[in-house]
Amino acid sequence: MDDTGWMIGMGIGGVALWLVILQRYRRWKAGKLADKMLEDVIKSKDAFRR
């Protein structure tokens, strides 16, 4: 029973860690896209009309 509890805990911890990493990756990608769009606007290009 002790091993089963340990495995369940590791599984839940692994899923939680994966979700945190995925969220940070998405924020990083969104930040890069926003920076590129802002750079296009600064260069007086319309980022929405490509």
- Is residue 45 assigned to a domain? yes
- Is residue 49 assigned to a domain? yes
Domain count, the chain: 1
How much is the pLDDT for 46? 62
Which structure tokens are listed for 25? 């990756």
* Report field, pTM of the whole predicted structure over 0.85: no
- Is residue 4 assigned to a domain? no
Q: Which residues contact 37 (CB under 8 A, 6 or more apart)?
A: 47
- Is residue 32 assigned to a domain? yes
- Note down pLDDT in tens along the chain; length 50 residues: 688 999 999 999 999 999 999 999 999 999 999 998 888 888 876 656 55
User: CA–CA separation, 7 vs 1, rounded Å?
Assistant: 10
Give me the domain span that covers residue 42. 21-50
Q: Is the four-CA dihedral 32, 33, 34, 40 of positive or negative sign?
A: positive
Rg, Å, the chain Cα set: 20
- Three-state DSSP class for residue 41: helix
